[in-house]
A and B are shown apart, each in its own frame.
Chain A
């Protein structure tokens, strides 16, 4: 596939995954209502059983797969484009380390994604499939986030997401050909804001549960 198509696919799937993050982050934030997970589980029930959402979920899985595969293809080809590395490195003078490390950050996100879906999504859907019932996700969250190691792993996942988004959000617009002095400032502000707020809210979930602030 032509390089620019690969970039466009990366940008489109990246923005699509960002839209997923908005929904995911919004629904999970319902635990902060501190109502014993009632509202959260109601929303979770809707998302887990509504046929339209379930069909969209297939799109989400495909979106993730395309983004991940395309990401690895880009990373592999880009490594091959410079077989012999420089002895002296001065990259920090002209670009940010995280913009040069999207493949690495993406891989960390993938590892986190495996851990995270194994914790919630996979067992829940498997249970729905075999018994027809959803798992009590709020209780499950409290159990999982009572383990210090898991809290640390989840916070690390959120930190990787922060760096990935800090470059990715803006980068997606450039890949899609949107670079205009009139709109660049708002894209930059929105991107930085989203990259900070979304992973922060996510990170607060295991942290608040671990310390028992969410009952």
Chain B
């Protein structure tokens, strides 16, 4: 069934640039197939706007298969729309009814400035990663699979945390615009594995500091992020980050110049 038979009213956030005022603009749209993805529906809208000589709606997208995390849209008050554990590109029009009004907004947070229409600047996440969300030694060539024994449950937890695609839905949906789910996932994936140990303490300290510096809010444990996260990142990661942070702060030694060191 791919007949285009849905008529919808879209209210889309239009904003020229970061510094201009934005507002919701109403666009009636018809002939939408329930099998279309949400982004394809926006493609249809943009096609119509272009044909009418109007400016198309700017929106982010790349993979369109739920792995890149670009397609940030706040749909009817929910990050990535009404379904759980999916991105906007995985949302289909069959999740809506003929005649529905759909409000489409960009992520709204001080730390994610709007660039244009539905496109926001998420480089705050990149700056947090740059503060230690990696391992800075060369791992060399591929090792024997069981060279480093890692308990199965730790591997599972690390891989679950590593599923985070940096989409920002957690920030967008949080009343406090807190980035703690994202940051905790990035800290956990390394804190749980042997490879992450050498920089474990400095990583959590500097990433959390950068998170605050970017102006994200403070988590109050509402749990909204966990519900809206397309990768179902668990709140357990935030608890782990809190533990990691407190332990790292309490055991941090004053920096002293030990001299020497490899060049």
Residue positions of A touching B, CB distance < 8 A:
2-8, 74, 77-78, 80-91, 93-96, 99-100, 102, 167, 170-171, 174-180
Q: Is the CB of B218 within 8 A of A177?
A: no
Q: Of A8, A93, A100, A171, which one neighbours B175 at CB under 8 angstroms?
A: A100
Q: Is the CB of B109 within 8 A of A174?
A: no
Q: Is the CB of B217 within 8 A of A94?
A: no
Q: Is the CB of A87 within 8 A of B105?
A: yes
Q: Is the CB of A99 within 8 A of B221?
A: yes
Q: Is the CB of A99 within 8 A of B220?
A: yes
Residue of chain B at shortest CB distance from A96: B222
Q: Of A2, A88, A179, which one neighbours B236 at CB under 8 angstroms?
A: A179
Q: Is the CB of A175 within 8 A of B178?
A: no
Q: Is the CB of B216 within 8 A of A81?
A: yes
User: Taking the complex as formed, is B156 at the interface, i.e. its CB lies under 8 A from any CB of chain A?
Assistant: no
A3-B208, A82-B109, A176-B242 known; A88-B103 Cβ under 8 A: yes
Q: How far is the CB of B136 from chain A (nearest CB, A)?
A: 23
Interchain residue pairs A-B with the least CB separation, the first 3: A90-B77, A81-B217, A179-B239
* A177 cross-chain contacts in B, Cβ below 8 A: 239-240, 242-243, 246
Tell me the dominant secondary structure on chain B's binding face: mixed
| Most chain B C-beta atoms within 10 Å of own C-beta, residue among A81, A171, A174 | A81
Count of chain B residues near A, Cβ 8 A: 47
Distance, CA A179 to CA B236, complexed state (A): 6
User: Taking the complex as formed, is B108 at the interface, i.e. its CB lies under 8 A from any CB of chain A?
Assistant: yes
- Of residues 139 through 194 on chain B, the ones whose CB sits less than 8 Å from some CB of chain A are 173, 175-178, 180
User: Taking the complex as formed, is B61 at the interface, i.e. its CB lies under 8 A from any CB of chain A?
Assistant: no
Q: Of B105, B228, B249, which one neighbours A94 at CB under 8 angstroms?
A: B228
Q: How far is the CB of B213 from chain A (nearest CB, A)?
A: 10
Q: Is the CB of A91 within 8 A of B77?
A: yes
Distance, CA A99 to CA B173, complexed state (A): 14
Q: How far is the CB of A188 from chain B (nearest CB, A)?
A: 12
Q: Is the CB of A7 within 8 A of B218?
A: yes
Q: Of A3, A94, A171, which one neighbours B224 at CB under 8 angstroms?
A: A94
A78-B217, A93-B78 known; A99-B208 Cβ under 8 A: no
* A175 cross-chain contacts in B, Cβ below 8 A: 221, 242
